[in-house]
Amino acid sequence: MNLPPRKPDESECCGSGCNRCVFDIYDEEIKIWKRGLEQSSGSGPEVLRPDVYSSVKIAAIEKTNPNTFVYTLRSIEDTQALLTLKPGQHVLIKGNLNGESICRQYTPLNCGSKLMELRILIKLYEDGKMSSIIKHWRQNDIIECRGPSGSEVCPVTNNCDTIILIAAGTGITPMVQIIQSLLNNEEEETSIVLLFACRTYEEICVKTELDGWSDHWNFSVAYFLSQEQPDVVSRKKKYNDKIICRRIKVCDVQAVIGTVDKSNFYAFVCGPLGFEADTKKMLLACGICNESVVTF
């Protein structure tokens, strides 16, 4: 069994700024371990195809807030790669509701080559048809899925100082793909700024992952909570959380853009249609050209 390297305890670091810190070595070992997994797994044909539905297994279900869950999908035998997924691409899942076939598209949280599993963030709605199907899903259930679908969204990087990602709710999913693809590139020097709009602190999705990525020098996130009061959220938030208790405004976008070269700047926006339209107006008002704004 190819076990992951053990992360050193804080006490194992002498704190002297060694050129080869135990944590530097750990990061190297993790990268070698991941490359080994990629080389040893998924050598056969991929399970999913874009033009036909295939059966996959729900390997795990994780509740992230009262009505949002992360569903982990794997091959039925746990031995085959599901698919190769590029940033911005999605999969389609179908189900049966009272004799009617219902299909919806979802953007997985992860992307990459020959993925052994897909992690899909799904918000359940009280009156949603697909939600009525998904709420009955249980671990080890078999569902129908196909993909990849859609075009790759590949940020033009290392040619600009900063890219800005603006998301609301489950619109965070394609942003997670972009963040991972950039942070996993050791040669990447573009700064990534995420403005994430949610209603409450409890509704912040994938916060554990975002907290971990905040350790990178070139990634930062600010949370905009429209239904929280500062005195209340101050008792909930972590020490390093940047929390703003209101909606995103033009001044927030302008603060990120600052004096960057607007002719070589990229913004990615995902959320409800009204949110995307309002955010795009803010970006254009800040001098960003239409071609530099990508919506999902």
Burial readout 48-76 (b: 16 or more C-beta within 10 A, e: otherwise):
beeeebbebbbbeeeebbeebbbbbbbbe
Residue 25 inside a domain? The answer is no
Same domain, 62 and 131: yes
Backbone phi, psi, residue 71, to 5°: -105, 125
- Whether 204 and 223 have beta carbons less than 8 Å apart is answered as yes
271: domain CATH number is 3.40.50.80
Same domain, 144 and 181: no
Residue 6 inside a domain? The answer is no
Bridge partners (DSSP) of residue 77 are none
Residues in the chain predicted with pLDDT less than 50, given as ranges, are 1, 42
Q: Residue 167 burial (CB < 10 Å; 0-12/13-18/19+)? A: buried
Domain's final residue, options 149, 183, 213: 149
Q: Residue 124 burial (CB < 10 Å; 0-12/13-18/19+)? A: middle
CA distances (Å), origin 275, targets 141, 146, 261, 278: 35, 28, 25, 5
CA distance 141 to 73: 10
Residue 23 inside a domain? The answer is no
Residue 18 inside a domain? The answer is no
Same domain, 132 and 195: no
Residue 40 inside a domain? The answer is no
Same domain, 141 and 265: no
Same domain, 144 and 176: no
Q: Residue 284 burial (CB < 10 Å; 0-12/13-18/19+)? A: middle
CA distance 156 to 37: 28
**Verdict on whether the full-model pTM lies above 0.85:** no
Number of H helices, E strands in the chain: 7, 14
Same domain, 220 and 137: no
User: Which one-letter DSSP state was computed for residue 292?
Assistant: G
pLDDT given for residue 155 in this prediction: 66
CA distance 201 to 204: 6
pLDDT digits (tens, 9 = 90+) for 186-234: 888 888 999 999 999 999 999 989 998 998 889 999 999 999 888 888 8
Same domain, 130 and 194: no
Count of structural domains within the chain: 2
Domain's final residue, options 107, 128, 149: 149
CA distance 234 to 136: 36
Same domain, 168 and 286: yes
Both structure tokens of 23? 């944590």
**Tally of residues, the chain:** 296
CB neighbourhood size of 131 (10 A): 16
pLDDT given for residue 2 in this prediction: 56
Domain's final residue, options 149, 183, 207: 149
Residue 14 inside a domain? The answer is no
76: domain CATH number is 2.40.30.10
pLDDT given for residue 44 in this prediction: 61
Same domain, 245 and 181: yes
pLDDT given for residue 158 in this prediction: 67
CB neighbourhood size of 119 (10 A): 19
Residue-range definition of the domain harbouring residue 268: 162-295
Residues with Cβ within 8 Å of 235's Cβ and at least 6 positions away in sequence, in order, are none
Residue 175 inside a domain? The answer is yes
Same domain, 166 and 291: yes
Residue 46 inside a domain? The answer is no
Same domain, 183 and 114: no
Same domain, 187 and 130: no
